[in-house]
Structure formats: C-alpha cells, structure tokens
Amino acid sequence: MNISRVRATGSYLPEREVLNQDLKQFPASSLPLIEQKTGIAARRYAGENESTSDLAAQAASTCLRQANLPAEEVQAIILATSSPDRMQPATATRVQSLLGASKAFAFDVNSVCSGGVYGLEIGNSLIQSGVVSNVLVIASEVYSRILNPADFSTYPYFGDGAGAVLLERSEGPAGIIGSILRSDGAGHDVIQVPGGGTMKPYSRMQSPREQYFTMKGKEVYEFAVTRAPEIMRELLASTGLAPECISWVIPHQANVNIINAIAAAVEIPRERFLVNLQRYGNTAGASVFIALDELCRSGEVSSGQIVMLVAFGGGLSWAASAIQF
C-alpha cells in the first residue's frame, strides 16, 4: 500500500504584529484579561493588500523551497480555509495561479479549525489510492477581516496566518500512521458567520453584525475538552500506539486553558504539547500547520518520532492524525 510521508513544511505569518495593549478600542482595564483567559499576548494581521490566497501562496512557496520541488511538479493542491477570498471560485485556484503549479488540480476544504487535519487526510487518501504521488496541503486564514472589531468576545483572540505541508508517496515505514475525522452537525450554529450565504444573503441581513464571525464560548470550551481527548484515545487505540510513543502533540491553538485540560485528560505529559498561541493567537484552520512547521524548523523532531495532530472547530468538527517522521 502507498504511504504518505511529510516531505516538507512551510508557514507564513504577516509582518504586522498586534499586541494586546494595541487593541485601543477596548477599555484598558479589560486588556489583561485576554492573556489571563487564553494565554494570547499577540497576533498577526494581514496587510491591506494581503488576502487568504496570498498568505497561502507564501507558506506554500516556503514549503516547496524546503522540498526543492518546482511548483510545476505539484500534482494537487488542497486549501483548508474558513475565510476564503470570495464565495467562489475556490481560493485554492488563485493559489495555484500564484505558485505557477500549472499541472495541479486545486480545491478548498472548509472544516473551520479542523480544516488542516481534514485536508491532510484527504491528501493522504489521494496518494494511497494512486490518484497522485504528491499533494500540497495548505491551511490559510485571515480572520481579521471577518471579526467584529468591537466584539471583545471574539476579536482579541484570533490572528492571521498560513501553513503548508507537502505530502508524497513513500515506500518507507515512516509517514501518516492513521487519522480520524469526526463531525456533529447538531452543533452547526455554535461557531458561524451568519450572513453572506444562501441561508441569509447580505440583502436579508437584519444587522451588519451578521456578517461577522460568532461563537458560543462556553459550548465551544465544553466541546473541545471532551471531544479532543476522546479522539486522541481513539486514534491511539486504532493505530496500536501507546501514549509513551507520542513524542509531540500539536493541538489546535485556541486557548491555553483548553490545551491544559486536554493534556490533563490523556496519558501524555503536558510538556510534549507544543503551544505557540501566545505569539499568534488562534489562527483557526492554519494553527496546527504553523506549529508543525515551527517544530520541524526547530530541529527538535527526529527520525522515527511520532507527532500527533489534534484539532476541533466549527461544524462541529474534530480530527486527529498521527505522523511518524
């Protein structure tokens, strides 16, 4: 059977850094709560002329340079995003054009914050089935454009960024060991952008606020701290891996208290959980890939080690994947 291995990773964070104290629209007395409640001290915002596809292309270009692979040799592009350039066409097609990946087919995946892991398993399946021998999986988000700047419950907690992973067919033992994807449509309205689609086009919005991202914070917290440990244990059982086999866990970078609760619920030490949300905030579907790229560039992951990715987000959706390097 074909095995998908990670050949290279890449990421891109916009230059503009916004610290908590820079959020002048909120009372100064409330700003310390951001870090206290979530661990977030800063985030990056896309430049005026940067869109989701621009960030994606930057991350993908870095990834391809790391792999020494010309864009013309990429066979498929999967872009995970919940903040697309436009309702249509697929944002991935503009990324294809920006890269010059003329031989690739390209499409989007929207599973909100689980999108990167969903895209990874879709790419893995394309390789395993023999459709392609390599797939460029990208996750890119520009949430600064879909958030209400006056909403303290959402605006301070998200940032913009992109990450990329190049998968390729391999005959070696290392690669994607297993993945699990889950969703619960009963929670479809827990995390959402109410306006702009066919259910509520802009012409039928009752308030301009319906164009912005919303979430039910308490329900999201309870969902995340329940489902993430469950799927991690399920993945360990399905792959036959013991908790001590996991060298690193890369969780979705939503909230440090959520990550602490997940770590406490599984038999994997907290120090193995990689956390970078203090610098970038919640970059939604891109967060796992950005952290994975940081881990790969740090030199702290070595041959034979196993990294577990776990994500959770709108839909409701959640996913986990185990990769041996």
Cα–Cα distance, 306 to 5 (Å, whole number): 12
H/E run at residue 3: strand 3-12
Q: How many helices and strands in the chain, by DSSP H and E?
A: 8, 13
Please say if 63 is a catalytic residue: no
* Strand pairing report for 3-12 and 161-170: antiparallel
Structure tokens at 269: 């030490």
Cα–Cα distance, 298 to 288 (Å, whole number): 15
Cis amide bond preceding 89, omega within 30: yes
Query: Of the listed 20, 110, 124, 282, which one is catalytic?
Result: 282
Cα–Cα distance, 125 to 58 (Å, whole number): 25
- Say if residues 263 and 273 touch (Cβ distance below 8 Å): yes
What single DSSP character describes residue 217? H
Number of other residues whose CB lies within 10 A of the CB of residue 65:
11
Query: Of the listed 113, 124, 134, 296, which one is catalytic?
Result: 113
Please say if 113 is a catalytic residue: yes
Q: Is 185 left (phi over 0), alpha (psi -120 to 50) or beta?
A: alpha
H/E run at residue 59: helix 52-67
Longest CA–CA span in the chain (Å) reads 58
Please say if 134 is a catalytic residue: no
Query: Of the listed 110, 124, 134, 252, which one is catalytic?
Result: 252
Distances (CA, A) of 67 to 63, 116, 199, 204: 6, 19, 43, 48
For the annotated catalytic residues, the residue numbers are 113, 252, 282
